[in-house]
């Protein structure tokens, strides 16, 4: 099903942007795990709307647990959480039934669902659906921490302004936790200031900008993943592409490897503290679809928010002719800031699923 992913750990996301509620069902969590729900809510607050650089829509994003807990601990039943939608302005979207927004899913959804698609706020195509993804990911991050695995991300670039990248060889848990805790998660505060200026300038122009999120994982053991179709890269890529606005992903040196020679790109194997490692990490922690024990490192590219206040060109589906479009409503001038925890969540869920495949649920406590 298109709304579910995972094997040992299955996550199903449900709801629509302007429906009564959205939510997630997580099936396969080990039993007997005490989850820190204060920490889950802090994680979700990083994605929540509000603030100078996001939409003015106000949502508490407080999950209500329907099943899966007994005495505050996971009990083996699917963990189901719902998040109510409160601040909705559905009237802003009525004309979009006839005037599909450029670079949105409006037109292909109209074709696929024969005009029955929910146009309000983008329906199930909305970034609003990343709230339950972050709920599930926040739970996964806590379980991974029990095994010494830490997931963290930062804003690598916004509209061409670049942050200092993670050290691909020695990025550690402390660095990942520290940058994830920042209100504007960058390593170079001066670069962060320039990024904020780019976002504000776009907002003033009634426009938007895109950017890149870099994610790293420390403490990941070697041997996770499968060759070919079940590679670690393909599993993570599938989950990351479930985040609206993602248009590309690369691991390690990524596309820049295409301009290198083999001698430039190859990572020499070395012994460090009694274990096999690589001197560099242009492979991004994955070879042959399997983790190597080096930090896992990937970057996800996000397009500019397509809902902008400038007049754009579209077509009238009923009139079968060109038409101008001015989009009203509340939209992010840049989605990258709020996307950082979403990328962490997607990666964490895939890694927890893979580790459950490797270790089994009974060995988790």
Give Dmax (Cα) for the chain.
71
Task: Please name the helix (run of DSSP H) or strand (run of DSSP E) that holds residue 353, with its range, or none.
Answer: helix 336-359
Q: Are 133 and 24 in contact (CB under 8 A)?
A: yes
Query: Is 330 flagged in the annotation as binding?
Result: yes
Q: Is 307 annotated as a binding residue?
A: yes
Helix segments in 76-231, DSSP class H: 106-112, 130-145, 173-180, 189-204
Annotated binding-site residue? 288: yes
- Cβ-count burial 337-350 (b if 16+ within 10 Å, e if not): bbbbbbbbbbbbbb
- Do the annotations mark residue 238 as ligand-binding? no
Q: What is the CA radius of gyration of the chain?
A: 21
Q: Among residues 341, 336, 335, which one has the least CA distance to residue 55? A: 335
304 assigned to a ligand binding site = yes
Q: Is 47 annotated as a binding residue?
A: yes
- Please tell me the distance from the alpha carbon of residue 155 to that of residue 363, in angstroms, as a whole number: 35
Q: Is 305 annotated as a binding residue?
A: yes
221 marked ligand binding residue: no
Instruction: List binding-site positions.
Output: 47, 288, 303-307, 330
Feature table: binding site for NADP(+)? 47
- Indicate the annotated binding residues for FMN: 288, 303-307, 330
């Amino acid at each position: 099903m298109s709304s579910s992913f995972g094997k040992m750990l299955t996550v199903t996301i449900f709801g629509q942007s302007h429906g009564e509620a959205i939510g997630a069902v997580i099936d396969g969590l080990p039993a007997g795990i005490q989850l820190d729900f204060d920490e889950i809510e802090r994680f979700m607050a990083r994605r929540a709307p509000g603030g100078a650089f996001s939409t003015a829509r106000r949502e508490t994003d407080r999950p209500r647990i329907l099943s899966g807990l007994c005495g505050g601990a996971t009990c083996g039943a699917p963990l189901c959480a719902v998040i109510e939608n409160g601040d909705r302005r559905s009237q802003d979207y009525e004309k979009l039934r006839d005037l599909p927004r450029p670079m949105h899913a409006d037109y292909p959804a109209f074709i696929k669902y024969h005009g029955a698609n929910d146009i309000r706020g983008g329906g199930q195509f909305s970034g609003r659906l990343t709230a339950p993804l972050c709920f599930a990911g926040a739970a996964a991050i806590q379980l991974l921490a029990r095994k010494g695995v830490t997931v963290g991300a930062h804003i690598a670039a916004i509209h061409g302004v670049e942050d200092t990248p993670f050290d691909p060889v020695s990025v550690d848990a402390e660095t990942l936790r520290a940058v994830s805790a920042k209100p504007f998660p960058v390593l170079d505060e001066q670069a962060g200031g320039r990024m904020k200026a780019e976002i504000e300038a776009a907002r003033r122009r009634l426009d938007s900008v895109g950017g890149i999120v870099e994610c790293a994982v420390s403490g990941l053991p070697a041997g996770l993943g499968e060759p070919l179709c079940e590679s670690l890269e393909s599993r993570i890529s599938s989950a990351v592409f479930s985040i609206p606005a993602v248009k590309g992903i690369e691991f390690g040196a990524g596309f820049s490897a295409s301009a290198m020679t083999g001698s430039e790109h190859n990572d020499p194997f070395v012994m460090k503290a009694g274990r096999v490692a690589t001197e560099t990490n242009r492979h991004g922690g994955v070879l042959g679809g399997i983790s190597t024990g080096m930090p896992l490192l990937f970057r996800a590219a996000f397009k500019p928010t397509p809902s902008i206040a400038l007049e754009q060109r579209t077509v009238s589906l009923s009139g079968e002719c060109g038409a101008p479009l001015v989009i009203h409503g509340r939209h992010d001038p840049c989605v990258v800031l709020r996307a950082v925890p979403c990328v962490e969540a997607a990666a964490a869920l895939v890694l927890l699923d893979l580790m459950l495949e490797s270790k089994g649920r009974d060995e988790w406590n």
